[in-house]
Amino acid sequence: MSFEGLKEERTSSHPFERGLTPGRFMVLVGPSVLFLLAILLLTPWVGSADVTWQRVLEGASPDREIFVVARLPRILFGALAGGSLAVAGVLFQAILRNALATPFTLGVSSGSSFGAVLAIWLGLDIVVLGVPMVSVAAFLGALLTILLVFMIARTRRALPTFTLLLAGVTLNFVFAALILFIHYASTFTETFLMVRWMMGGVNDVSYPLILKTAPPIAIAILWLVWQAPAFNLLAAGEDWATTRGVNVGRLRKAGFIVASLLTGLITAVTGPIGFVGLIVPHALRLMGAADHRVLIPAAFFGGAGFLVLCDTAARTVMAPTELPVGVVTALLGGPFFILLLKRRSGDLF
């Protein structure tokens, strides 16, 4: 086949298609970055106590304490958490080829909740070497879920979509039942701790924690961005990807593990925070960012800004009482999810 005729084509009425260029990347990812920057610059000044930047910069003062010790780490970790959860959502959606999939769909969140609840029940609500044991148990719960999903969904083909979904739904039920059982067997104090944990919040964070969690998250995001073209094909279809040279089985397994680890890592610290992984990717796709090379970074920045915004609302709407941010995202996310379902009539995303 020849290349003749391409020269005239370039000057025809339809522009020469250039694909994803650096310029187009900036146009699509830029708004999410600007949104996050604006949120990071504005939200530290919002809260139940009035803090002014003059007094923060003056040196030791209550304002400085509130700003540096209370608000800033919470905002920074909130950003890390929101970004990771949004990217995990993107991945679960690509793997299951379903725009309504979330980290909850495959049971990872309920697995880590089970781990945390079990730890509280066993009296492991302690800190060893600077690491809370409840978080360790929650992370192990997420790992256990990965293992179980793999065992259930492994058949002739590698992790078929439908079996994965069923495995996730089943695990959600099993973990929910186990959590109820532990609740029933626990004391009032334990139950209170468990319920608070399961509401999901970014209240209990510190600078060392941020420094420990940021590097693995950064590595995961970089790997995902590098693999983004293959995730495009996987999201488009299994045969579509295979006949275009993608090793679907391997990519799907790797994607599932990375998404689960991201979810597990964040959930271990914050408890389950729902809907970030659903709302953010969906909004971005509506704005034209379906290409995973754009969607993954945009979801990270957009999700980071979104969760910090929700957490700021959680800190202020009932001030001086602080709501868990999981309550705020769920209140926003539930109706949003129903809206999506209603709009889905023509089998559009």
Q: Which residues contact 316 (CB under 8 A, 6 or more apart)?
A: 46, 47, 48
The DSSP letter of residue 158 is: S
If binding is defined by CB under 8 A, does position 243 make contact with other proteins? Answer: yes
> For other proteins, which stretch binds (CB under 8 A), given 28-36, 40-48, 90-98, 214-222?
90-98
- Residue 103 C-beta: closest distance to other proteins, Å: 18
Q: At what angle do helices 325-343 and 276-286 cross, to 10 degrees?
A: 50
Q: Which residues contact 240 (CB under 8 A, 6 or more apart)?
A: 233
Q: Count residues near other proteins (CB under 8 A).
A: 47
Which residue from 230, 309, 310, 323 is in contact with other proteins, where contact means CB under 8 A?
Answer: 230
Virtual CA dihedral for 264, 265, 271, 277, nearest 10 degrees?
-70
- Residue 6 C-beta: closest distance to other proteins, Å: 6
If binding is defined by CB under 8 A, does position 188 make contact with other proteins? Answer: no
If binding is defined by CB under 8 A, does position 254 make contact with other proteins? Answer: no
CB atoms within 10 A of CB 331: 14
> For other proteins, which stretch binds (CB under 8 A), given 53-61, 75-83, 244-252, 253-261?
244-252
- Residue 272 C-beta: closest distance to other proteins, Å: 25
The DSSP letter of residue 99 is: T
Residues 285-304 that bind other proteins (CB under 8 A): 285-286, 290-291, 293
Surface-to-core class of residue 191, CB atoms within 10 Å of its CB (0-12 exposed, 13-18 middle, 19+ buried): middle
Which residue from 32, 109, 232, 270 is in contact with other proteins, where contact means CB under 8 A?
Answer: 232
Segments in 11-47 forming alpha helices (H)? 22-42
Q: Is 127 strand, coil or helix?
A: strand
Toward other proteins, which CB reaches closer, 14 or 342? 14
Q: CA–CA separation, 55 vs 239, rounded Å?
A: 61
Toward other proteins, which CB reaches closer, 136 or 236? 236
Q: CA–CA separation, 121 vs 117, rounded Å?
A: 6
If binding is defined by CB under 8 A, does position 98 make contact with other proteins? Answer: yes
Q: CA–CA separation, 116 vs 197, rounded Å?
A: 8
Residues 3-32 that bind other proteins (CB under 8 A): 3, 5-6, 9-10, 12, 14, 16-22, 25
- Residue 286 C-beta: closest distance to other proteins, Å: 8
Residues 318-347 that bind other proteins (CB under 8 A): 347
The contact set with other proteins (CB under 8 A) reads 1-3, 5-6, 9-10, 12, 14, 16-22, 25, 93, 97-99, 225-226, 229-230, 232-233, 235-237, 239-247, 285-286, 290-291, 293, 347-349
